[in-house]
Chains A and B, each alone.
Chain A
């Protein structure tokens, strides 16, 4: 009997706003768990605070809803205690890049085996609509009525700059794209970070519409697949090439110059950084993937007894120079 998404649902009533992009993400994650036959007891969802952080209550695995921004740190401790667990971290742009930016950075650079889902909606939802660290300059919100003035952080550059070995992107309602990145994230050993463009219909509706609108998707979305040419547009007539004069990516007519179209290499860190900045089309899928030793594996390998108790306290308690009083 094959598993379905429903096998991974809990009895809890889902409490996001009607129409929230989180519903679609939840469905995609449950579908991925079913498809990959994830062992429930060996799977843990850890979250911080925010709308996204309610996620663990709705998935029938182990789950820990923690405190604001600290989920990567708690998940790191959990992985040290039990490296065999599949640990997912669910965070948002505020939780992961503002209050918890430090922990996210260190989880990525250590390459802790965490599957991090960053729900980016460029706004604070649960606190009722303030601008976030990914909000664009000029975002009007209750805390910035005349428009925000601070420059946003790029999640992709943050991740790659922190040393992430896996960075991917997907749109909340794009089932195919979500399935692709989630399955690759599931299979990846080290720290993976998947940025999900999540539509907050209450406080920041359609902020990603310029590239998520299905009607124009063919010409605004570049879906990346390892080893395949970077093609997009109706009939895949357009491609992406590297311009060595400007050191940037640009659109090229794929029919006229097929040889100039770049073939996606997930291990290319330089092209990955250029793809992060590509705006029209927007790069989606696994942008960068470079397997490396997981932190928890290095930790155990480096530990004198792989965390086993191979000696007794009696072997240490006497110190180097004990003496006897008669």
Chain B
């Protein structure tokens, strides 16, 4: 990297202790990147502990952002710039760095104690470990404290500002405006004007350091041109924000209120937090006493005529399973969002995985089919939420949306959609009382196209009826233990889910030719790396929104390729589903390290398969 060079894409990684404010610094840098017009993708990577032991490698919190003027869909494989606040952060990040990367170190973090905690026998600043990189070692801690001294803060309070000091350096490097960050600090610390002023001072001090210090030669002045993105209005968005907006938009499109019921769990909680701010869109949020109560309250809300939505992560979804069966049996609409994380059990709460696909498609007692869809990018969570509500109301069924921890937190620029162009969400009107039929029968009359039953909610005169989890007669809706009826109802529940396929679009290729030697098939948050890898190698890409049922033409589409490669962040679950549905033998590429795929590992495998 030379000075004043325009680079097309650059990967920046910030790393420090989990109490260093890395995530805050990263998200502010992302906002600043968005405002500069560059395309970007982020990857917050932090430990499960709120304040993991300081100085340790497992306590490192990192935020990676890939920004550029080209199309950016992943957080990048190898960082070009690293800001490391302590030896542990350096040690964890070093193996990933691009050769020649710029490494900015906080000298004050490199104490003997911290070096020992990170497992360094010798100081990496001096032992040659960093000989492949450009190193800027600054006394960030000390310089920051000097900058905030005038505010009379304690040493520990003052120390909290150092993330903004470092952000100041970055903003100078990338030629960014300070004003939006200042405004954010002042808003955020509205009640603490002294702390706000100190953080602003630290930001300016870092910026000035970058601009005037004798290290000018080492710190390259970078400017990323605005990316060539389609014209329109953009914003920065995380998956949790997009999902919240999508759920609220679905309520508006269906002209129904939304009741979101959930229990806090990592990494699903951000959706609850976001939805609490959308009340004026007719959205209510209820924090239930546990996961089971959360889905049950959502079912109760749907029974009462609102759109019931619940959300969790794998372990919580497991607890909700019995209630999902009730929603299937009672034929009530419901949306269940699963922000998948590493497992089994508590597993890796803050790391991402796609390993709940079996759970979503197969994971219930009895024959209890539920439509399953997935979201592939942060912004796509908006559209996935609308699609889920559309299916739930059209077919009177619970719907599972698979997202994951990476999508929940990752930010990207998002072309703000024109909501007025999205078709309204239809649902069956409450019927008039028909004297020739019992209300019980009327409640279970189904639309032959969708098999959705009438959504008659309490409060409607003369239509009183009873619903429940016991098997019911396919015609009268009364309890029935009749053997032939149970067969018919089991078939009906499957047919209803199959009917969803009548309403979904044919699967198309995301990139590449519609037939050929190799197609890479994915779902969910692997979209970014698969898109980059297939674009670079010229092979085809198919990315699935609908996992159950799958698009009707998918089998024929995949049969047009010599090889089908399926990369997944699990042990091969989509491969099983594809084999289950189609007469194909896909090649499985799996990764369960809690980290997203790197483009390079996909490219490598694609090239190997093409050569074989």
Q: Residues of A with Cβ closer than 8 Å to B?
A: 10-12, 40-44, 46, 56-57, 60-67, 70, 73-82, 84-85, 102-103, 105-106, 299, 303-305, 307-319, 321-326
Q: What residue in chain B is nearest A82 (Cβ atoms)?
A: B304
Assembled-state Cα–Cα distance A105/B286 (Å): 16
Task: Give the chain B neighbours of A326 by CB distance below 8 A.
Answer: 231
Q: Known contacts A80-B259, A80-B286; is A321 also within 8 Å of B304 by CB?
A: no
Decide if A64 touches B330 in the complex (CB within 8 Å).
yes
Judged by a CB distance under 8 angstroms, whether B557 is at the interface is no
Name the interface residues of B282-308: CB closer than 8 Å to any CB of A: 282, 284, 286, 288-290, 292-293, 296-306, 308
Decide if A66 touches B326 in the complex (CB within 8 Å).
yes
Q: Known contacts A40-B464, A66-B326, A324-B233; is A77 also within 8 Å of B281 by CB?
A: no
Q: Known contacts A66-B326, A70-B293, A322-B235; is A317 also within 8 Å of B416 by CB?
A: yes
Task: Give the chain B neighbours of A11 by CB distance below 8 A.
Answer: 438
Q: What residue in chain A is nearest B234 (Cβ atoms)?
A: A323
- What are 14 A-B pairs at a CB distance below 8 A? A11-B438, A62-B458, A63-B464, A64-B466, A65-B470, A66-B468, A73-B288, A73-B289, A74-B296, A76-B297, A80-B306, A102-B289, A309-B282, A314-B420
Assembled-state Cα–Cα distance A11/B229 (Å): 65
Task: Give the chain B neighbours of A324 by CB distance below 8 A.
Answer: 231-234
Partner of A323 from the list B233, B297, B326 (CB cut-off 8 Å) is B233
Partner of B297 from the list A80, A304, A321 (CB cut-off 8 Å) is A80
Judged by a CB distance under 8 angstroms, whether B457 is at the interface is yes
Q: What residue in chain A is nearest B308 (Cβ atoms)?
A: A77
Assembled-state Cα–Cα distance A46/B330 (Å): 13
Task: Give the chain B neighbours of A310 by CB distance below 8 A.
Answer: 280
Decide if A76 touches B300 in the complex (CB within 8 Å).
yes
Partner of B303 from the list A56, A61, A64 (CB cut-off 8 Å) is A64
Task: Give the chain A neighbours of B479 by CB distance below 8 A.
Answer: 12, 57
Q: What residue in chain B is nearest A41 (Cβ atoms)?
A: B461
Task: Give the chain A neighbours of B305 by CB distance below 8 A.
Answer: 81-82
Chain A, interface SS category: mixed
Decide if B467 touches A64 in the complex (CB within 8 Å).
yes
Decide if A319 touches B235 in the complex (CB within 8 Å).
yes
The distance from the CB of B91 to the nearest CB of chain A, in whole angstroms, is 35
Task: Give the chain A neighbours of B251 by CB distance below 8 A.
Answer: 309
Q: What residue in chain B is nearest A103 (Cβ atoms)?
A: B293
Decide if A313 touches B249 in the complex (CB within 8 Å).
yes
Q: Residues of B with Cβ closer than 8 Å to A?
A: 31, 34-35, 37, 180, 226, 229-237, 241, 245, 248-249, 251-252, 257, 259, 261, 278-282, 284, 286, 288-290, 292-293, 296-306, 308, 322-323, 325-326, 330, 416-417, 419-420, 438, 457-470, 478-479
Q: Known contacts A78-B300, A325-B231; is A41 also within 8 Å of B459 by CB?
A: yes
Task: Give the chain B neighbours of A305 by CB distance below 8 A.
Answer: 279-280, 282
Assembled-state Cα–Cα distance A70/B284 (Å): 21
Task: Give the chain B neighbours of A325 by CB distance below 8 A.
Answer: 37, 226, 229-234
Task: Give the chain B neighbours of A322 by CB distance below 8 A.
Answer: 233-235, 416
Task: Give the chain A neighbours of B466 by CB distance below 8 A.
Answer: 10, 56-57, 62-65
Q: Known contacts A309-B257, A323-B233; is A77 also within 8 Å of B463 by CB?
A: no
Assembled-state Cα–Cα distance A82/B300 (Å): 10
Task: Give the chain B neighbours of A317 by CB distance below 8 A.
Answer: 235, 245, 249, 416-417, 419
Task: Give the chain A neighbours of B280 by CB distance below 8 A.
Answer: 304-305, 309-311, 315
Chain B, interface SS category: mixed
Q: Known contacts A78-B458, A312-B252, A321-B235; is A102 also within 8 Å of B257 by CB?
A: no
Assembled-state Cα–Cα distance A312/B418 (Å): 12
Extra pairs beyond A77-B298, A309-B251 (14, CB < 8 Å): A41-B459, A41-B462, A66-B469, A67-B322, A75-B300, A81-B304, A82-B457, A85-B459, A103-B289, A309-B257, A313-B248, A317-B249, A324-B232, A325-B232
The distance from the CB of B431 to the nearest CB of chain A, in whole angstroms, is 14
Q: Which interface residue of B230, B298, B459 has the most chain A CB atoms within 10 A? A: B459
Q: Known contacts A73-B296, A73-B300, A77-B286; is A323 also within 8 Å of B34 by CB?
A: yes
Task: Give the chain A neighbours of B35 by CB distance below 8 A.
Answer: 321, 323
Task: Give the chain B neighbours of A77 by CB distance below 8 A.
Answer: 259, 261, 286, 296-304, 308
Q: What residue in chain B is nearest A299 (Cβ atoms)?
A: B284
Task: Give the chain A neighbours of B469 by CB distance below 8 A.
Answer: 65-67
Q: What residue in chain A is nearest B286 (Cβ atoms)?
A: A80
Assembled-state Cα–Cα distance A56/B462 (Å): 16
Decide if A64 touches B468 in the complex (CB within 8 Å).
yes
Assembled-state Cα–Cα distance A305/B520 (Å): 47
The distance from the CB of B26 to the nearest CB of chain A, in whole angstroms, is 16
The distance from the CB of B27 to the nearest CB of chain A, in whole angstroms, is 12
Decide if B281 touches A313 in the complex (CB within 8 Å).
yes
Decide if B233 touches A307 in the complex (CB within 8 Å).
no
Task: Give the chain A neighbours of B304 by CB distance below 8 A.
Answer: 77-82, 85
Partner of A82 from the list B261, B330, B458, B465 (CB cut-off 8 Å) is B458
Partner of B34 from the list A40, A313, A318, A321 (CB cut-off 8 Å) is A321
The distance from the CB of A79 to the nearest CB of chain B, in whole angstroms, is 8
Assembled-state Cα–Cα distance A27/B327 (Å): 30
Assembled-state Cα–Cα distance A279/B546 (Å): 62
Assembled-state Cα–Cα distance A42/B461 (Å): 8
Q: What residue in chain A is nearest B235 (Cβ atoms)?
A: A319
Decide if B293 touches A102 in the complex (CB within 8 Å).
yes
Q: What residue in chain A is nearest B462 (Cβ atoms)?
A: A41
The distance from the CB of A62 to the nearest CB of chain B, in whole angstroms, is 4
Task: Give the chain A neighbours of B230 by CB distance below 8 A.
Answer: 325
Decide if A316 touches B245 in the complex (CB within 8 Å).
yes
Q: Kindly list the 5 A-B residue pairs having the minimum CB-CB distance in the complex, ordered from nearest.
A: A77-B300, A81-B304, A65-B468, A77-B297, A309-B282
Assembled-state Cα–Cα distance A277/B286 (Å): 36
The distance from the CB of A255 to the nearest CB of chain B, in whole angstroms, is 50
Decide if B330 touches A42 in the complex (CB within 8 Å).
no
Assembled-state Cα–Cα distance A117/B157 (Å): 55
Task: Give the chain A neighbours of B417 by CB distance below 8 A.
Answer: 317
Task: Give the chain A neighbours of B232 by CB distance below 8 A.
Answer: 324-325
Decide if A313 touches B419 in the complex (CB within 8 Å).
yes
Assembled-state Cα–Cα distance A187/B558 (Å): 64
Decide if B293 touches A73 in the complex (CB within 8 Å).
yes
The distance from the CB of A321 to the nearest CB of chain B, in whole angstroms, is 6
The distance from the CB of B446 to the nearest CB of chain A, in whole angstroms, is 19
The distance from the CB of A106 to the nearest CB of chain B, in whole angstroms, is 4
Q: Known contacts A106-B289, A324-B232; is A65 also within 8 Å of B467 by CB?
A: yes
Task: Give the chain A neighbours of B303 by CB distance below 8 A.
Answer: 64, 74, 77-78, 81
Decide if A319 touches B281 in the complex (CB within 8 Å).
no
Assembled-state Cα–Cα distance A11/B299 (Å): 27
The distance from the CB of A244 to the nearest CB of chain B, in whole angstroms, is 39
Partner of A307 from the list B226, B231, B257 (CB cut-off 8 Å) is B257
Decide if B461 touches A309 in the complex (CB within 8 Å).
no
Assembled-state Cα–Cα distance A254/B539 (Å): 95
Assembled-state Cα–Cα distance A106/B263 (Å): 13
Decide if A307 touches B281 in the complex (CB within 8 Å).
no
Assembled-state Cα–Cα distance A80/B308 (Å): 11
Task: Give the chain A neighbours of B226 by CB distance below 8 A.
Answer: 325
Task: Give the chain A neighbours of B467 by CB distance below 8 A.
Answer: 63-65
The distance from the CB of B429 to the nearest CB of chain A, in whole angstroms, is 17
Decide if B249 touches A81 in the complex (CB within 8 Å).
no
Task: Give the chain A neighbours of B297 by CB distance below 8 A.
Answer: 73-74, 76-77, 80
Q: Known contacts A42-B458, A67-B322, A316-B245; is A78 also within 8 Å of B419 by CB?
A: no
The distance from the CB of A312 to the nearest CB of chain B, in whole angstroms, is 7
The distance from the CB of B263 to the nearest CB of chain A, in whole angstroms, is 11
The distance from the CB of B294 to the nearest CB of chain A, in whole angstroms, is 8
The distance from the CB of A46 to the nearest CB of chain B, in whole angstroms, is 8
Partner of B300 from the list A10, A40, A42, A74 (CB cut-off 8 Å) is A74
Decide if A318 touches B416 in the complex (CB within 8 Å).
yes
Assembled-state Cα–Cα distance A326/B300 (Å): 47
The distance from the CB of A101 to the nearest CB of chain B, in whole angstroms, is 11
Task: Give the chain A neighbours of B326 by CB distance below 8 A.
Answer: 66-67
Q: Known contacts A65-B470, A102-B290, A303-B279; is A321 also within 8 Å of B458 by CB?
A: no
Assembled-state Cα–Cα distance A221/B464 (Å): 39
